[in-house]
Structure 1
């Protein structure tokens, strides 16, 4: 494959430290997409990475036609527990690590190309991606980023006239994404279960060198690293729960070692509140339902602990795992207090939260709209019209509102100050499935205007943008019939 010319892309500093681990995967050239068309470029992120490419270069790079100088495409091997069962050899079946960028601020970023063609880990797949899933990931990763939730980032999206076969024939696409690292729990599982545990310290040392240089490359440093993974995972899932985000496929091969939201497939934001909501049509048992995410996070960490057990003392691993529940509840409780405009903790607050969620579930109250409009509540008996519109039986809430008002009266904040604080943590705009679906359908017809509008709104999710108020309304009834599966 031809690289760009010497004057094209030579400003980008590429390191291939991970690809130098020949035992950790396979060098693979991307298979170029035919008739590719540039759809989206995240120019702000590109500037952060120091990648001053022209649109033609973005198209050539993301379609797999040309590489930047020094890039060494590499398919990573890993394993994973998928829906509870162990798969011993997975890996980058349709993606390639193109290289590791050293940004102007000396931060390190993986460039990962999804839809790059077959690799030794494709199994029976075609190694391709479709526009539907690629655009969904672009939109979702940027939505979570602007909500302040750790995530991989979307850098560039291209489409193609090349047909790809899923449940039906769909247009092909490729997505270039960036993250400080794409290492997963499953990387460590692969080397543990394949009898190559001696490789695990090399992976841990790589993480310390590239991400956490404050840690020591010895057993104590490895123990500190695992504790940090536990902390980041607990915080990530607390973020998800607070904002009403469902990942959909929390397999260990989809769990980031850095605590990033990774591998967007059948994700979804809650519409009508349902604690047992299952966003993945393929999840027949509800293993990854919204209310199961905290427990699954711990289960996955236990699988990682097992993989690391030859290099960290068992009692140390158990001690770190024992912090998980407290960390998650602490982060989640703090975010819920902020969402309800409460600056101080009181003993009765958990009961106030539980009763609120019970009523929300019983009356199917829209999750995002409820919290956003709750800031409009003022002293007195009347409820704001926008809030009342969400409640099919407002009278059933009278007791809860009385308790909530009494609780607010114990705070020192003013009404205007409370509303400003609540609106700063309760988004007005989230990526509901029907909004993403509308953008996808238009993109498949060659119209990117709806995707551009969504990206504009999602970049400022807490700001009032009155001309787009219809994007902040509860989902229409037809949205409940949307089928989001693992191929999404």
Structure 2
């Protein structure tokens, strides 16, 4: 362990792929580094010891104001489909990679989001604002607390530098950490440009470093796709079960490792609305909560298309046709895999011994029709199972306009819970139904306070959301139903 960013066990990592994959460049310094907030659990995972954040040099590196000695920073190139339309070349428009760190048996890529322009910034300024940076820092760490695969956030630093969005805001940088930031879009880029040797190098790199058990497979690229499909089916099932809406599920925001990637206009659902759209730029609702599994499937088809030149190399049309049919069969399994994972997540939330698809569907429709607070309902249901008291049942029923509907559902549900095991089951349910999520109004309050120089609420939320299933009486205010004004909060891709 070390207190110095410079002294971490830096490796070549992604740089081994060669110049076709990235552009070396340095972050653009900001006029000042005003500190912010750090994640000690992430710091420990990459090899930093306690107190590392007290070294101003470390914070300057993570702001882009100081550079790692003899370590080339870089931005990567990728392409992708955005809102279902081929967008061509994209790339890291405001993310600059510091490199790859080894700690024990694990390796981590470290990148700065908001550290200045890159060759892939297009018309952007390469910066991120404090508002969106707080949201990304808190949500990536909240998702980790929920045990949902995600990129992590090591630090958030900020500056007095002005950044123009819908209004003038101030700049911030989030240090993001993940085993890899390789996206579906990286594969799409090289496939679309018919750079098949580079495409093969990328796939081989991913297999060697992240799916090493596939190296001896007879068809490693087909096996890679199969694993990526399964990982993403499991990921979106977890999102749906916890009520998380991403907002911008473009192919360039999809992780080859099945991680939650790129926190833009995300939201956890408050009042249940299956057609909920968290991104006000998404007028057609392509990325609505209900449509997320379908979009995952669509994006996986695009990845399969990008991998086809490796899975069926050469010009033999019969071989290509056979492999296309094989790919179709693999992709056809996604909806079934997703449904299996989703029903398992819901089984755990309800404390049942087996999946009860009809019961789950009936409940979800009840929650939707009555606009019941999703998180509050499931956490309150744990209390009903625990005590079966009139008071606990009343809390649940008061959430619904359709009192008869919820009463009938509760009768069917509670009949499946053995009374002699109720307390044990309730305790298990509390490990799958969070008491605390990053509600929009809490994030908004934290942002407004921080913009006025007070990061206290950011720190409190960060601490609370690391243990979202625990009671944490000191943070009980964060578990209350949101105020009416919370429904008016609107977020977009602008950050």
TM-score tier (shorter): over 0.9
Give the corresponding residue for 2:318: none
Cα distance 1:404–1:75, how it changes in 2: closer, same or farther (>3 A)?
same
For 2:327 and 2:490, the matched residues in 1 are separated by 39
Give the corresponding residue for 2:315: none
For 2:197 and 2:22, the matched residues in 1 are separated by 16
Give a deviation string over 1:204-263, Cα, whole Å, max 9, x none: 111122212222277611111111100101000000000000000000000000000000
Cα distance 1:362–1:306, how it changes in 2: closer, same or farther (>3 A)?
same
Give the corresponding residue for 1:71: 71
Question: Offset at 1:443?
Answer: 0.7
For 1:41 and 1:380, the matched residues in 2 are separated by 42
- For residue 479 of structure 1, give the secondary structure of its aligned residue in structure 2: helix
- For residue 64 of structure 2, give the secondary structure of its aligned residue in structure 1: coil
Contact 1:243 1:368 in 2 (8 A): yes
Moved more, 26-35 or 144-153: 26-35
Cα distance 1:403–1:87, how it changes in 2: closer, same or farther (>3 A)?
same
Give the corresponding residue for 1:172: 171
Cα distance 1:413–1:96, how it changes in 2: closer, same or farther (>3 A)?
farther
For 1:189 and 1:9, the matched residues in 2 are separated by 33
For 2:472 and 2:466, the matched residues in 1 are separated by 12
**Aligned pairs (5 A) from 1:245-324:** 245-312=244-311, 313-324=323-334
Question: Offset at 1:483?
Answer: 1.2
**Aligned pairs (5 A) from 1:148-187:** 148-187=147-186
Moved more, 471-480 or 83-92: 471-480
1:339 and 2:349 correspond: yes
- For residue 110 of structure 1, give the secondary structure of its aligned residue in structure 2: strand
1:108 and 2:107 correspond: yes
Contact 1:276 1:291 in 2 (8 A): yes
Give a deviation string over 1:437-461, Cα, whole Å, max 9, x none: 1101111111110011101110110
Question: Offset at 1:10?
Answer: 4.8
For 1:402 and 1:234, the matched residues in 2 are separated by 32
Q: 2:413 aligned to 400, 404, 426, which one? A: 404
Cα distance 1:360–1:9, how it changes in 2: closer, same or farther (>3 A)?
closer
Instruction: Give every structure 1 segment of 4 or more consecutive aligned residues whose post-TM-superposition deviation is greater than 6 Å.
Output: none
For 1:298 and 1:9, the matched residues in 2 are separated by 39
Q: 1:26 aligned to 19, 23, 28, which one? A: 23
Give the corresponding residue for 2:317: none
Give the corresponding residue for 1:476: 483
For 1:23 and 1:217, the matched residues in 2 are separated by 27
RMSD over aligned CA atoms reads 1.8
For 2:345 and 2:108, the matched residues in 1 are separated by 29
Give the corresponding residue for 1:212: 211
1:41 and 2:48 correspond: no
TM-score, normalisation: structure 1: 0.94
Give the corresponding residue for 1:59: 59
Moved more, 112-121 or 413-422: 413-422
For 2:332 and 2:405, the matched residues in 1 are separated by 40
- For residue 19 of structure 1, give the secondary structure of its aligned residue in structure 2: helix
For 1:381 and 1:17, the matched residues in 2 are separated by 57
Greater per-residue helix proportion: 2
Give the corresponding residue for 1:382: 390
1:13 and 2:24 correspond: no
Give the number of aligned pairs.
Answer: 477
TM-score, normalisation: structure 2: 0.93
For 2:362 and 2:122, the matched residues in 1 are separated by 48
Question: Offset at 1:419?
Answer: 0.8
1:425 and 2:432 correspond: yes
For 1:326 and 1:46, the matched residues in 2 are separated by 38
Contact 1:219 1:311 in 2 (8 A): no
For 1:140 and 1:428, the matched residues in 2 are separated by 15
Contact 2:397 2:406 in 1 (8 A): no
**What residue ranges of structure 1 are gaps of 5+ in the alignment?**
1-5
- For residue 86 of structure 1, give the secondary structure of its aligned residue in structure 2: strand
For 1:413 and 1:301, the matched residues in 2 are separated by 45
For 2:324 and 2:391, the matched residues in 1 are separated by 55
